[in-house]
Amino acid sequence: MDLYGALRPLIFRLDPETAHNLTFWMGARACAWPWLPKPALPASLRCQALGLSFPTPLGLAAGLDKGATLLPLWKSLGFGHVEVGTVTPRPQPGNPKPRIFRFPEAGLILNRMGFNSEGAEVVAARLRRRPAGLVVGGNLGKNKETPEADALNDYRAAYRLIAPQVDYIALNVSSPNTPGLRNLQAPEALKPLLAGMLDLRKEMGLERQPLLLKLAPDLAPEDLDAIVEVAVAAGISGLIATNTTLDRGVVQEPLRAFVESKGAGGLSGVPLKDKARQVRQRILAALAGRLPLVACGGLGSAADVQGALDDGAALAQVYSALIFEGPSLVGRIHQGLAEHPRSH
């Protein structure tokens, strides 16, 4: 029986953050079960990317498991990798509530969480107990009160704690919910940030660990091209595209007015799909195979994931679709990928 499907009407009657907390409470209980199932993944799904081996190209995007609390559950569901975070160096509560809104009729989520984080020290301690056989990434951000000019210090502080406990690191400079954060995507700000992080990676003896950059979907095409060149020249390991969008134009009327009435925040889910894919295709064209790209943003089916892989993405991540469809989504995507005639 699809337990999530049975509980979904109840869950969706609750405030979204209350529902999230309840679901995570139940998930934590499930993680303690000795009979937590082991996924049977087709061998055809195995793939290599970023110098790592993945049992499947499908992963869980950052933003859902911010504190690495449900890693055994994600492994049990069959995710090939999980990106935890965003983790900030120091604990912070995030933005005032309400700060997340669901629109089930459109498969849409609006969030302005604002990097609510337990802090890198707490998350790193939890990661030391992570389950074997699951690729885990750490998504890092700066604290809200940290000025842009001091952002590198925040990323370095979080990196020192999180990087030794994970398989790859992603730098989040693209969330719309931390003031000024997206300014770090500008080439003149990005160059010293990447250089500083790569220096620290070398200092810590982690040169073989992939370092990725997560980008916004709201950049102009020429800005995307410039960022790609900065990333390639810096020598980082890859890009993730995309984060949430500020563009309310992706939402059709009459829902758009209702979404706008909820205020600020980034949009994710089905309405982001086309915009995110256009951005990824632009990035992939500019990369011309020089760096791998992880697809994220609006993916919610096997066809979506396969389309991203066919476009040239090395891996794909889901998040919003999991909220609306539940854990069975993972198996459906894997079944669709396994039936596709190409190898992964």
Question: What is the tens place of the pLDDT at every residue in 33-84?
Answer: 877 888 889 999 999 999 999 999 999 999 999 999 999 999 999 999 999 9
Query: Would you name the residues annotated as active-site residues?
Result: 175
Amino acid at 82: V
pLDDT of residue 2: 66
d(CA 85, CA 82): 10
By DSSP bridging, strand 211-215 and strand 168-172 are parallel
pLDDT of residue 7: 79
On whether residue 209 sits in a domain, the answer given is yes
* 320-339 per-position pLDDT tens digit: 999 999 999 999 999 999 99
Banded model confidence at residue 341, pLDDT cuts 50, 70, 90:
low
Highest mean pLDDT among 1-5, 24-28, 118-122: 118-122
What backbone torsions phi and psi does residue 193 show, to the nearest 5 degrees? -65, -50
On whether residue 7 sits in a domain, the answer given is yes
pLDDT of residue 271: 96
- 8 A C-beta contact, residue 123 and residue 68: yes
- 8 A C-beta contact, residue 193 and residue 152: yes
For the residues 3-23, what does the mean pLDDT come to?
85
- 8 A C-beta contact, residue 80 and residue 135: yes
CATH number for the domain that contains residue 232: 3.20.20.70
For the residues 138-157, what does the mean pLDDT come to?
95
For the residues 278-299, what does the mean pLDDT come to?
97
d(CA 319, CA 97): 21
pLDDT of residue 31: 84
150 CB contacts (<8 Å, ≥6 apart)?
none
Q: Which two tokens stand for residue 190?
A: 């990005």
pLDDT at 144 over 50: yes
For the residues 175-181, what does the mean pLDDT come to?
82
On whether residue 344 sits in a domain, the answer given is no
On whether residue 328 sits in a domain, the answer given is yes
- pLDDT averaged over every residue in the chain: 93
Higher pLDDT, 83 or 26: 83
pLDDT of residue 343: 46
- 8 A C-beta contact, residue 237 and residue 227: no
On whether residue 89 sits in a domain, the answer given is yes
Banded model confidence at residue 344, pLDDT cuts 50, 70, 90:
very low
pLDDT of residue 1: 45
Q: How many CB atoms lie within 10 A of CB 46?
A: 15
d(CA 56, CA 344): 8
Residue range of the domain that includes 124: 3-339
192 CB contacts (<8 Å, ≥6 apart)?
152
What's the angle, vertex CA 115, arms to CA 279 and CA 230, rounded to 5?
40
Which has the closest alpha carbon to 55: 79, 37, 71?
Answer: 79
| Number of compact structural domains in the chain | 1
On whether residue 20 sits in a domain, the answer given is yes
